[in-house]
Amino acid sequence: MELVCLKEKKFDDYLPLMNREVIEEISYLSDELRGKRVAMINATAFGGGVAEKLEALLPLLINLGLEVDWWVLEGSGDFFRVTKQFHNRLQGQEGSLTGPDIEVYLHQTRLNAAAMENWDYDFVICHDPQTAALIDYRDRLRHRARWVWRCHIDTSDPNPEYWDFIHRYIRHYDAVIFTMSNFVCGGADLPNLTLITPSIDPLSPKNAALDPEEAAALLRCFGVEKERPLIVQVSRFDPWKDPLGVIEAYKMVKKEFPSVQLALVGSMATDDPEGWDYLYHTLRRAGEDYDIKVVTNFNGITSVEVNAFQTAADVVLQKSLREGFGLTVAEALWKGTPVIGGRVGGIRLQIEDGVNGYLVDTVEQCAERILTLLRNPALAHDFAVTGKEKVRRNFIVPLNVLAYLRLLHKLNFLP
Ligand code: UDP
């Protein structure tokens, strides 16, 4: 396993965004947990929401006095192929779990567990299916740690074979975290089941306020013209994110708004081997329409460019078919950009249909809602104001800090 370097952050910088009760509770809990050693383990330090969430959360826990290390699993191409299949099938895709795939998964788990020999932590927090079976090796640690498993995906309707397999491991953790209660299938036997909604870092380069002129200048490099309407979806190239549906919706809008542009902004996560295939599907569907910009971290997209796209967009889409949370929704709402999301998973926590955005079930609905927003700047503005406040109250990182501290505090004092 590899240790990830973390940037420094100061908790005090976030105080103006928080209510007094939140600040007081965080201060009490972090005093109680000062010096506790925490290992966070996930599958990638780059690309996708989990890396983003850890990057936001961990420096603040450290600044509050905990000793936190972020470990990333080692994995072969085969391991990540199998774990992406876990991801897809836990989100409901059909298919059978084969003996050889189980062997690939358990073999890599064994190799990763070797790195835990003599670890000395009070808490070990494992993220997503890639890490689940590490619990079998808990006795490698020098002292007795509390183990937590955090699920970031939409398991509301999982493939039962895969759920049964993962469930065999997760029930041995001391606590299990999901984002929504309906993601937990028959969770009666899961210990200390906890619901935590993810959050964004409002002060990071991705989310800090960006001057519209600066955003427009950054986007010019990608061929985006400031004067023309812009639809944006920021996400990995993944069937669950439905980039092909986004292109279809854009084509419908284009008939009425010929000047409209579409940007599909996607990062290629190191634990997502399907990403390249799906990027090629997307490029083929975009064809020779040069008003569709398909851009990735390989042609210059960093956090600041993501910020620029989300800031400059007239409408941001997250037309997912399944979604654990969808950080991109909160990111866009925080910038005061109206969002249309698929009526699935964690997107439903963030968008109240018709109040701070729209929820859609089909490509046609999506196109219709885009047209409504493009034609009604005043409505788009109202959504933007309500959306930003919703994020401030519910989805900013200090609230995530509080949720984790509460859970660790509870586990720390369990007999
Ligand atoms: N992201 C990025 N660059 C890209 C595409 C996505 O930095 O080109 C980020 C995006 O801003 C968000 C995260 O990746 O912070 C995606 O998280 P989300 O919860 O939306 O989806 P996930 O990838 O976890 O399914």
Q: Which atom of ligand 1 is nearest to the CA of 269?
A: 23
Domains of the chain, by residue range, sit at 2-199+396-412, 212-394
Q: What is the pLDDT of residues 179-228, one digit of tens each?
A: 999 999 877 789 999 999 999 999 999 999 999 999 999 999 999 999 99
2-199+396-412 CATH choice from 3.40.50.2000, 3.30.1330.60, 3.30.565.10, 3.50.50.60: 3.40.50.2000
pTM, entire model = 0.95
Shortest-distance Cα residue to atom 6 of ligand 1: 235
CATH number of 212-394: 3.40.50.2000
Q: What is the pLDDT of residues 83-123, one digit of tens each?
A: 999 999 999 999 999 999 999 999 999 999 999 998 999 99
- In the chain, the amino acid numbered 53 is K
Percent of the chain topping pLDDT 90:
93
Q: Which atom of ligand 1 is nearest to the CA of 200?
A: 15
Q: What local confidence, expressed as pLDDT, does residue 52 receive? A: 95
- In the chain, the amino acid numbered 148 is V
Indicate if the pLDDT at residue 140 is higher than 90: no
Indicate if the pLDDT at residue 50 is higher than 90: yes
Q: What local confidence, expressed as pLDDT, does residue 273 receive? A: 80
48 CB less than 6 Å from ligand 1?
yes
325 CB less than 6 Å from ligand 1?
yes
Q: Which atom of ligand 1 is nearest to the CA of 318?
A: 20
- Model confidence at 415, in pLDDT bands (50, 70, 90)? confident
Q: What is the pLDDT of residues 352-374, one digit of tens each?
A: 999 999 999 999 999 999 999 99
CA–CA distance, 359 with 63 (Å, rounded to integer) = 38
Ligand 1 site-directed mutation target among 52, 150, 295, most atoms within 8 Å of CB: 52
Q: What mean pLDDT comes out for the span 281-290?
A: 96
307 CB less than 6 Å from ligand 1?
no
Ligand 1 centre to CA of 235 (Å) is 5
Indicate if the pLDDT at residue 287 is higher than 80: yes
